[in-house]
Structure 1
């Protein structure tokens, strides 16, 4: 219990604090992770801090969704225009889209189940981990943050909530892709036209293939920032309790169970 760095002396660590963010294991609901993968491939893996796999699936989703016009076909089908939905779809791309989409859901569910098992083992091993990281570019440390504040900043601009809790990799990724979605969907141009009362022009300028990515992007940023703020707070409290117990609590201290104080 005297080791405060991840020096590979333990089989499993519950968390790691680096200048790029705080990565930790904690119990997750596999169905929720799978749902986020269904909402947008890659999101489930990013919630698990499986960034390389998550980024690959995310970029694949954007690339293979835009080319066969999946989002446009969805809009036409919602409007009951089934013939137009069939006409706009490009099956050359669509047949590649479905297998990877299903893989993202299945793999995120499977990985969550496995990581929950690893968390239980790491919790039992109870090895100490670093809680402070100081580098030439950044400083990161465990502390308590307000989940409501993280949600508020994510509502303003997705990615800011992640910056607030120092999830640098996710923040940069989310912000960069938000700019791409805004630019190609013309949503900001449509908002300006809407304020000017030009409703028909605002509707016609929108690009549905890119527009439908934005709600999922906002939802993920809000959920990710809130969930990780809560879990980081739990990790901070647990780490502080362990530190105080080891360094300040008397070795003779005992909690007597089953006895009433008179």
Structure 2
């Protein structure tokens, strides 16, 4: 049976998420269509912000100056992100106000927070999170406005920064693309600006990073570790990098596929 175009587009995205990049000729053979058809498909996916074309093929690989679209990010390292998000959600207490950024890792906290019996307020600039939160009778959702970015499915820009500046949440939960012993990084300037304001606004600042993001850097520096109170990561994170992080940062290491976690106390080795 011949695939519909929408089904083929989704299959191409899933395949590129798995392999990173592939030539148009290989994609044409895989999906039993002409190379010209593949190029039209890739043009459509690039216009949607889902892939990045190069001469002869396409990629969804993240680079130091390019952030892949939210629709793709949600499909990457799903188990790691949900494990971290579950651990972060467990730290939220009834009656608190929390801010969650538009990262695919931090936004994975929304479902466990909705399932909890807590009455809380959640502030976010991520539209899919706001839609999910709007269905809860116990969680009060507050939107961070600004210019809507279709690729990131979130509100960014000066309006978003100004909105965050007026807030003082109990805790902010953020993620980013890379981090090393010197700090946290991202490749898009206006996202950096908003993350910085979010971190300044909150009483407690928690960073969620899976092991693939630790030990590298990107174009822009979001902040140093002095702006982070707690790092939640997986037990696959490189120990040598964790050991070099500012000892004042609480490091919570979560076992993949397990609910338990191990904490490194402040001042101790990570």
Structure holding more strand per residue:
2
Q: Between Structure 1 and Structure 2, whose CA radius of gyration is higher?
A: 1
TM-score normalised by length of structure 1: 0.26
Higher relative contact order (CA 8 A, sep 6+): 1
TM-score normalised by length of structure 2: 0.25
Structure holding more helix per residue:
1
